[in-house]
């Protein structure tokens, strides 16, 4: 039974599943996965991605929500409590602070993406790109980015700040029961549009062929990295969401369900976009060129494309904005609980920090190249440290006591993944993808 002084703001496993799934949709799968799947062998790449989701991201996020449910505090306070109960150094709590900072940096990127995607939704809805060439669309995007007012990102951030000030109960409810269903409906309509006007054979050849030769070492590492860096694992979000959860939830199964939804959304997005590109004889690209040039070009040159293009970019903007709301919550809770600031003031401070960062990135995008690689490395390292702490420094009975709702065999699988598989994969990513010159060349 919860302490009387600790509020219990949400009930039910479904709320946690939906909120976690909604939080992860704006974190890169839309930008990278359609290109990476086709470039690296199709189905083999997807198998590596799915393996990393369920062997790395899901076990680590489960560890995170377990610590949050056990510690009942901020991301820093929950780790401090877990270290104290385990007889370990309180310095482990610094990992929670680092993860709060990483979440804020990632929120900056997601806020800028939400701004740009909202701009593309408006432009497509106005039908100003009808029958435009790819070069014209690229120029239009650059002009809008360079000339767009700061009012849009600040307005979006203001909305997030207000929601953050209302607390995780409101945030989780909106993410799980409003944002996620809205995104599912929007993505489903775009998929239906792709089935009617897209080149399905081109999509099958690009996404689902079985070509192990194209996978290679780099492709395998890219799949493992993409699968590991999903589900907002290692960024404190899970600890925040479960800081006041009902104590009877089967946490591992809830996170596992969120992982299934994450993979399903990723595949659906790829299946919705690649046929449209095939219909206009365009191959998927990676990153910003894919989402802000190739995709608008496809929509602009298909019947009713301006309508469905606006729907898709509205979905993408909502996904990015939902990720921002989740990513700022650990920092807000840290200021509120650890520094004893009131909730509104904490949300305002975090909103200002993210807003300043977003404006810098929005108008001086060159700084993103220097930070993106470093951010990926830092997140992988934070995942590794969290896995080491829970699986190697916390006593197994302490973890089992919080995951008592899970069957023994399922708990053993989770423990094996967290103790052996996840650290091994993360070390492989760190030294194979980021560390060794031979692997990067």
Nearest to 324 by CA among 115, 31, 166: 115
Q: From residue 401, give the alpha-carbon distance in Å to each of 81, 404, 405, 406, 418.
A: 15, 5, 9, 10, 16
pLDDT value, residue 147: 67
pLDDT tens digits, one per residue of 247-275: 678 899 999 999 999 999 989 999 999 99
Domain assignment of residue 87, yes or no: yes
Domain assignment of residue 279, yes or no: yes
pLDDT classification of 151: cutoffs 50, 70, 90: low
Q: What is the mean pLDDT of the chain?
A: 87
Supply 58's token pair: 């899901």
Number of domains in the chain: 1
Domain assignment of residue 329, yes or no: yes
Supply 22's token pair: 């909604």
Enumerate the β-bridge partners of residue 210.
42
Tell me the C-alpha distance between 108 and 127, whole Å.
Answer: 29
Measured in degrees and rounded to the nearest 5, phi and psi for residue 210 equal -115, 100
Q: What CATH number has the domain bearing residue 25?
A: 1.10.4160
| CB-facing half-sphere around the CA of 386: CA atoms within 13 A | 36
pLDDT value, residue 150: 54
pLDDT value, residue 438: 38
Domain assignment of residue 281, yes or no: yes
Under DSSP, the state recorded for 55 is I
Residues 6+ away with beta carbon under 8 Å from 185 = none
pLDDT tens digits, one per residue of 375-413: 889 999 999 999 999 999 999 999 998 899 899 999 999
For the chain, how are helix, strand and coil distributed in percent, rounded to 5? Answer: 80, 0, 20
Is 107's pLDDT higher than 60? yes
Domain assignment of residue 6, yes or no: no
Alpha helices, DSSP H only, in 364-434?
367-388, 396-402, 408-416, 422-428
Domain assignment of residue 300, yes or no: yes
pLDDT tens digits, one per residue of 46-96: 999 999 999 999 999 999 999 998 887 889 999 999 999 999 999 999 999
Is the pTM value of this prediction over 0.85?
yes
Can you give the residue range of the structural domain that contains 167?
Answer: 13-440
186 neighbors 315 (Cβ within 8 angstroms): yes
197 neighbors 28 (Cβ within 8 angstroms): no
Tell me the C-alpha distance between 202 and 133, whole Å.
Answer: 21
Tell me the C-alpha distance between 244 and 3, whole Å.
Answer: 10
Supply 46's token pair: 């997807």
Nearest to 30 by CA among 285, 355, 401, 241: 285
Measured in degrees and rounded to the nearest 5, phi and psi for residue 167 equal 100, 165
Is 6's pLDDT higher than 60? no
pLDDT classification of 231: cutoffs 50, 70, 90: confident
Domain assignment of residue 121, yes or no: yes
Residues 6+ away with beta carbon under 8 Å from 326 = 19, 22, 23, 171, 175, 232, 237
Supply 379's token pair: 């997140």
pLDDT tens digits, one per residue of 310-364: 999 999 988 988 999 999 999 999 999 999 999 999 998 998 888 888 877 777 6
């Amino acid at each position: 039974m919860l302490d009387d002084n600790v509020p219990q703001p949400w009930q039910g496993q479904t709320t946690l599943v939906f909120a976690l799934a909604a939080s992860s949709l704006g974190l890169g799968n839309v930008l990278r996965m359609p290109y990476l799947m086709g470039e690296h062998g199709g189905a083999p790449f997807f198998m590596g991605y799915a393996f990393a989701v369920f062997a790395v991201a899901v076990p680590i996020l489960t560890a995170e929500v377990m610590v949050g449910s056990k510690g009942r505090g901020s991301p820093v306070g929950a780790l401090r409590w877990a270290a104290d109960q385990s007889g370990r150094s309180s310095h482990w709590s610094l990992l929670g602070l680092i993860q709060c900072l990483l979440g804020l940096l990632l929120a900056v990127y997601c806020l800028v993406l939400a701004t740009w995607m909202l701009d593309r939704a408006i432009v497509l809805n106005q039908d100003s790109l009808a029958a435009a060439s790819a070069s014209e669309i690229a120029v239009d995007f650059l002009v809008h980015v360079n000339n767009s007012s700061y009012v849009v990102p600040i307005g979006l951030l203001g909305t997030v700040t207000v929601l953050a000030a209302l607390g995780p109960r409101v945030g989780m409810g909106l993410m799980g029961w409003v944002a996620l269903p809205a995104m599912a409906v929007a993505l489903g309509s775009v998929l239906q549009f792709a089935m009617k006007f897209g080149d399905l054979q081109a999509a099958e050849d690009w996404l689902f062929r079985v070509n192990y030769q194209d996978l290679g070492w780099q492709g395998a590492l890219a799949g493992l990295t993409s699968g590991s860096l999903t589900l907002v694992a290692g960024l404190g979000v899970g600890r925040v969401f479960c800081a006041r959860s009902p104590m009877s939830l089967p946490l591992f199964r809830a996170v596992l369900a969120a992982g299934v939804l994450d993979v399903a959304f990723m595949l659906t997005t790829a299946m919705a976009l690649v046929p449209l590109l095939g219909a206009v004889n365009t191959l998927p690209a990676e990153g910003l060129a894919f989402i802000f040039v190739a995709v608008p070009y496809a929509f602009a040159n298909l019947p009713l494309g301006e309508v469905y293009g606006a729907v898709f970019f509205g979905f993408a903007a909502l996904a990015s904005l939902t990720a921002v709301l989740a990513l700022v919550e650990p920092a807000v809770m840290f200021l509120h609980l650890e520094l004893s600031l009131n909730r509104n003031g904490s949300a305002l401070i975090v909103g200002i920090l993210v807003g300043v960062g977003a404006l810098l990135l929005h108008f001086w995008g060159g700084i993103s190249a220097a930070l993106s690689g470093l951010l990926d490395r830092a997140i992988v390292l934070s995942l590794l440290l969290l896995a080491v702490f829970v699986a190697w420094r916390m006593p197994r009975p302490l973890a089992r006591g919080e995951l008592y709702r899970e069957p023994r065999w399922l708990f053993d699988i989770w423990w094996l993944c967290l103790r052996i598989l996840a650290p091994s994969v993360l070390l492989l990513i760190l030294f194979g993808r980021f560390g060794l010159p031979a692997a990067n060349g």
